[in-house]
Chain A
């Protein structure tokens, strides 16, 4: 971004804040204005000043000043929402404040992203900081938009309401988590992944079987396997075994295809070497084929970690005992309490990311020697 653009955006942000001082705060009564409250007035002026600093100063420290201004602006908007007569009927001044803060935040994040630190630690920290700031600001915009426009909670609850609901119903969420994740997902995942691996080893040992299974596996991975959920519910009942069965079937094929590709990844020279050592098939398998297949197996395990959670939740749409994440989502949607649904989705998202993260960590710990990690 050129310096000129920078100054323009900072200027616009500051102008928006000045407009916020002049315009009415709520749409019903024009008498409600910012200058009536001297503390808020000071806050607005200092935020505008900090935005101008972020636009005109070239040193990286100016970004910090700008972010401080953004923080002030966000705090002010949240404070205003707490006052009577603004939430649900916010006036032009309020939106001017939000837009000004938005512009300034965009400017700061853009300037942050443009910095190229030479030290790797600083670069990693920056790579973490920029998306976190972005995510936090999106959450803030969501909060402000929902409460400022007075969007009914049955359409879109505010993040604060979701967090409150999340904190307030931890026992229920914990029960759902154990039912869906610990019982359904983990059991099915373990069964599906190990079965896929064993069949892959067999298919690798007997080449004819492999040539028959690979096209079939590729074909079946492209099919909507989630559709077997109602059949599994019929076979294994409403409780968690049916969910584990769906998860096992869904995770089987990616593991089969990937592990088969991985077992064939060992080079001809390595195979010859094992033969020249006179090693048996079992020795070759554990010392050469399986280690060479590790990255592929972990790849399948990562893909499966996402698929497993989806499979279990969708299977619960077809019938469950009165607990479980999918059950809670479908029942609370019908009761229009969307804050609980979002709390459940937050839980699912956290569980999904943690699951993926654990698999990735185990991969790092066990295949650190692989060329793909040495760079």
Chain B
């Protein structure tokens, strides 16, 4: 039997296939969302623009109306290009230490986020190590840690800021404490899971080598907990950023993305608010990307098979 009857289609090169399978759908969906956004911006801003035209008693056509909805000073929903323009303007046209620059505000929030992330993750890791070694803590403390996941912790944020402020601790630290408080939970839970993930067989093997508790910890438990650690860190860094932003709300701090949002909502500066949101999103995605980059590096150094 010859193979002339069946001709299989030649498989596409891998990169082309990847483009079609992965990139194209995302691009189409993003494009559709942008179109919806523009239409929504026109519809939502139309009444306001029409009113202003009629107040000034200038004759207007459809084209004027559409142009007006997409370039208003304080639109109900700013168009994407306005947001990007405002973002670029505040990044490029002002020095990074000016309070009108988003770089300045992002840096303030970023420093609180990173400090809180560091404190919270360290605390979470230490707590997890204590919990797996002390049965009492596992029995008595762990249920409370899990319970506290169901509690809206951000509600505590104003108290922390005010109480610490009244005993003289201001600035970076209170915000970081809120971030730390938020992000130690996922790290602690993930690390308890990770440190207890080696199965009894592996523990038995360590015992046959008469390994001490410390050796078992560093050679068995810690390496097997690293993947769990990074999964938790990715969650932790995003909620650490949320904690820092929310921590800037109650006291009306002058600097930071949260303060920028609050000021925008006070003065009706919608474009400024959306630009601040864009900055927060960029910050969040870059932080997550950094953590996953570190994860890949660490995995390669530790010799994980991919």
Contact = CB atoms under 8 A, between A and B. Distances in A.
Nearest to B143: A131
B254 interface: no
Nearest to A228: B277
B245 A208 contact: no
A124 to B, nearest CB: 12
B36 to A, nearest CB: 13
A110 interface: yes
Interface stretch (B7-15, B281-289, B298-306): B281-289
B261 to A, nearest CB: 5
Interface in B1-29: 21-22, 25-29
A348 B158 contact: no
B74 to A, nearest CB: 10
A333 B277 contact: no
B61 interface: no
Nearest to A235: B76
Interface string B132-151: 00011011111110010111
Interface in B151-177: 151-156, 158-159, 162-163, 166-167
In which size bucket is the chain A interface?
A: 35 or more
A353 interface: yes
For A209, A313, A317, A318, the residue with the greatest tally of chain B CB atoms inside 10 Å of its CB is: A317
Contacts of B273: 230-231
Contacts of B276: 227
A216 B30 contact: yes
Which secondary structure dominates chain B's binding surface? helix
B154 A208 contact: no
Interface in A108-163: 109-110, 112-114, 127, 130-131, 133-135, 154-156
A341 interface: yes
B249 interface: yes
Contact of A314 (B159, B249, B281): B249
B264 interface: yes
Nearest to A317: B249
B140 A133 contact: yes
A226 B22 contact: no
A90 interface: no
A352 B153 CA distance: 10
Contact of B163 (A127, A155, A222): A155
Given A222-B238, A330-B250, A352-B151, A234 B29 contact: no
Contacts, number: 161
Contact of A224 (B153, B167, B238, B274): B238
B201 to A, nearest CB: 20
A223 B242 CA distance: 8
A212 interface: yes
A131 B155 CA distance: 24
B262 interface: yes
Nearest to A353: B150
Contacts of A362: none
B169 to A, nearest CB: 12
Interface in A69-116: 106, 109-110, 112-114
For A212, A234, A314, the residue with the greatest tally of chain B CB atoms inside 10 Å of its CB is: A212
A223 B284 contact: yes
B45 to A, nearest CB: 12
Interface residues of B, number: 58
Contacts of B138: 113
Given A219-B285, A222-B238, A344-B155, A110 B29 contact: no
B272 to A, nearest CB: 11
For B151, B156, B163, B280, the residue with the greatest tally of chain A CB atoms inside 10 Å of its CB is: B151
B33 to A, nearest CB: 8
Contact of A233 (B162, B242, B265): B265
B281 A333 contact: no
B268 interface: yes
B246 interface: yes
Given A235-B76, A333-B162, A345-B156, A222 B285 contact: yes
A260 interface: no
B135 A113 contact: yes
Interface stretch (A3-11, A56-64, A293-301, A302-310): A302-310
A352 B150 contact: yes
A306 B148 CA distance: 10
Nearest to B163: A155
Given A222-B288, A319-B265, A333-B158, A113 B136 contact: yes
18 contacts: A131-B143, A155-B167, A208-B28, A211-B21, A212-B25, A222-B238, A222-B284, A224-B241, A234-B268, A235-B76, A305-B150, A310-B154, A313-B152, A314-B246, A329-B159, A330-B250, A338-B163, A345-B156
Given A113-B136, A131-B143, A313-B152, 20 more contacts: A106-B136, A131-B141, A134-B140, A211-B21, A212-B27, A216-B29, A224-B238, A224-B281, A224-B284, A310-B152, A313-B154, A314-B249, A317-B250, A318-B249, A319-B265, A326-B155, A329-B155, A342-B159, A348-B152, A352-B152
